Amino acid sequence: MPTVEIRDVRKRYDGGFEALKGVSLDIEEGEILALLGPNGAGKTTLISAICGITRITDGSIRVGGHDVVTEFREARSLVGLVPQEMNLEPFQTVIAGVRFSRGLFGKRPDETLIERILRRLSLWDKRNAKVMELSGGMKRRVLIAKALAHEPRVLFLDEPTAGVDVELRRDMWDTVAELKRDGVTIILTTHYIEEAEAIADRVGVINKGEILLVEDKASLMTRMGQKELTIELTDPIDRVPPALSDYDLRLSEDGGSLTYRYDTGADRTGIGRLMGLLVEAGCQVRDVHTAQNSLEDIFVGLVARQEEESAA
Amino acid sequence: MNLPAIWAIYKFEMARFFRSILQSFVSPVISTSLYFVVFGAAIGSRIDQVEGVSYGAFIVPGLIMLSVMTQAISNASFGIYFPKFIGTIYELLSAPVNFLEIVLGFVGAAATKALFIGVVILGTAAFFVDLQILHPVSMVIFLLLTCVSFSLLGFIIGIWARNFEQLQLVPLLVVTPLVFLGGSFYSISMLPPAWQTVAYFNPVVYLVSGFRWSFFGLADVPIAVSLLAIAGFTAICLAAVWWIFKTGWRIRT
C-alpha cells in the first residue's frame, strides 16, 4: 500500500481558478519524491491539500490508509510539514517552539527526543535563543525541527532550499538523506532541477495543476545519459542502407540526415564502426553533431507539449 | 480529545501573558484606582447613594465587568489573529486537532487572563470601598460566563479580522459603547423612561445587572433573565465558532 494515495484531486478556488486538475499520485513508503514545477504549478496547493490546510473540491487523499478529511486525526498524525515561508513565532525560544509542535500533535513531552532533533539540526546551542535572533538558515532548521517533533512518517518540504545559500543547501540535502535512512518518506517541491537530481528517488513533474510525469530518477538519468548523433549527408537517401541495419537509425523526412542514439556510459559507442560502414555504403558525410538530453530538456519538452495540447 | 494539544495552545497563550505580567497586573490596578478617584470621589460625593448602596461600591461590579469584557475580547482576538498575520496558523491547521480543542486552548487562556484581571480589580476596589458579596456562587458564575463568552466573541473577531484596524474596530465601535451604556456606572432606573426601553436592547445591561445583584441584591432585570441572557450569548458564540471551523471561513482556503 502506498504511504500517500492521491486520487483525481481537484482544487478550484472561490475565484474560479483551478489549481489542481485531477491529480493522481502514489507515494511509496521510504522514498524521496521530488515534485518539480515552475512557480504557480500547483505544488504548494497539492501539499496543502494533503496536510489539511486547503480543502479539496473533488477526489480523495489517503495517508497511511487514512482519508485526510474523514480520518483527519490519524492522517495528520503521520504527516510533518515544513512550509515555504518562514512562518515562526518571533518571541518564542527554539526549544519552546519544538515542544509546542509536539504537544499540538498530541504527543507526550519527550525531552530526549527533542534534544536529539535539535542536535541533529545543529540547533542545540541555540535552543534558548528567541527565533527572531536567528539567521535565515537557522530559522529554516527550526521549521524542520518543529515538523519532526512528533516523529512523522511522512515529511513534506515545500521549497526547502528556495533563497538559501549553496552551503546550507548541501546541509539540507544531507539532512534529507539522514531522514530517509530513518525510514521517513519525504516529498519535496522544488523548481531547481539539480536539487531533484541530487536527492530524489523519483521525480514528478507538475505544471498548471497537472502531473505530467512521474518516473524513477534512475531511468530518467538513463535517458539523460543518452546522446544523439546527427549525421548530415551530402546527398539525400531513400532508405537506411542494409549494411547499417544493426544500428537503430532514424532517417529524416527529407532523407538528408541520420540520427543515432547511444549511451555515453557504454564501453563502446559504436560511432567509429558506424562511420566506416556509412562510407562503405557510399554515403558522403557533410557534417556531424551531437546533443545530450538533460532533465531540463525533458522538463521543458513536457511543459511545451502540454501548452501545445491545451492550445489545440 | 487531544489533551496535549489543548495544553500546548493554552501554555503558549499564557506565556505571552506572563512575559508582560507586570503590565497585566499594574494597568488594571491603576485604571481602577483612577475610576475610583473620578467616579467614586469626585462624582460620587454628589451622588450619595444608589438604591441604598454607596455610589463607590455601586460601580464596582460594573467596573469589573467593563475590564473583563474588553480584556477578554482583546486577548482572544489578538491570540488567534496573530498566528494568521505571521503565518504560523499553518501548524494549527495541519495538526490533528478539532475546533473544540483549538477553542478550548485559545479561549481558555483568554478567559483565564480576563478572570485574573477581574480578581485584581476586585482586590483593588476592596481598598477603596466596603464591599459585600451577598451571593458569591452567583457572582463566580457570572464572572466565569462573562470571561468565557466574551473570549469567544473575541476569538470570532480575530478570525474575521483581515488587518489590525478591523481587529480594533468591533471592540471600539460596538463593545465599548455597549459596555458604557450598559449600566456600569448607573442604574437603568436613573434613565428617562424612553432610554430605559432602549437600554433593555443592550445585552450588557443583563450581565451587569446580574453581576451587581450577586453583590448587593439589586438588579435592573430579574436575575433569571440575566442568567438566560448570558447563557444564550455564550451559546450563540459557540455556534458561530463551530460554523467557522465547519466551513473553514477565513482560515482554510
ipTM score here? 0.88
- At B103-119, the pLDDT tens digits run 999 999 999 999 999 99
The three-state secondary structure class of B96 is: coil
Mean pLDDT of chain A: 89
Question: Which of A44, A50, A82, A104 has the most B C-beta neighbours within 10 Å, making it the best mutation to test the interface with B?
Answer: A104
Say if residues B25 and B17 touch (Cβ distance below 8 Å). no
Distance CA B36, CA B60 (A): 9
Selecting from A52, A79, A103 the residue whose C-beta is nearest the C-beta of B4 gives A103
Q: Does A106 touch chain B (CB under 8 A)?
A: yes
Which residues 6+ apart lie within 8 Å of A130 measured at CB? A90, A91, A92, A93
A275-308: pLDDT as tens digits: 888 888 888 888 988 887 666 777 777 777 778 8
For residue B115, the model assigns a pLDDT of: 95
Going across the sheet that includes A66-67, the strands are A18-27, A4-12, A58-63, A66-67
Q: In this complex, do A81 and B7 lie within 8 Å of one another by their Cβ atoms?
A: no
Under an 8 A CB cutoff, do B95 and A55 touch?
A: no
Higher confidence at residue A27 or residue B219? Answer: A27
| B87/A73 Cβ within 8 A | no
The shortest CB-CB distance from B95 to any of A76, A89, A90 is to A76
Which residue in B231, B226, B233 sits closest to B208, CA to CA?
Answer: B226
Strands of the sheet containing A285-292, edge to edge, are A249-251, A257-263, A226-233, A285-292
C-alpha cell at B112: 483565564
Closest partner CB to B86 (pick from A74, A89, A104): A89
CA distance B40 to A197: 76
A90 and B87 within 8 Å at the Cβ level: the answer is: no
Does B189 score more than 90 pLDDT? no
CA dihedral sign, ordered A49, A54, A56, A61: positive
A79 and B95 in contact by Cβ < 8 A? no
Please tell me the predicted confidence (pLDDT) of residue A294: 67
- All three cell numbers of A204: 514528478
What span, in angstroms and rounded, lies between the C-alpha atoms of B242 and B152? 11
Per-residue pLDDT for A108 more than 80? yes
Chain B residues closer than 8 Å to A19 by CB: none
Residues of chain B in contact with residue A48, where contact means CB-CB under 8 angstroms, are 253
Beta strands in chain A (DSSP E): 4-12, 18-27, 32-36, 58-63, 66-67, 79-82, 154-158, 185-190, 202-207, 210-216, 226-233, 249-251, 257-263, 285-292
**pTM recorded for the entire structure:** 0.83
Of A51, A55, A81, the CB nearest to B248: A55
Q: What are the start-end ranges of the H helices in B161-175?
A: 164-170
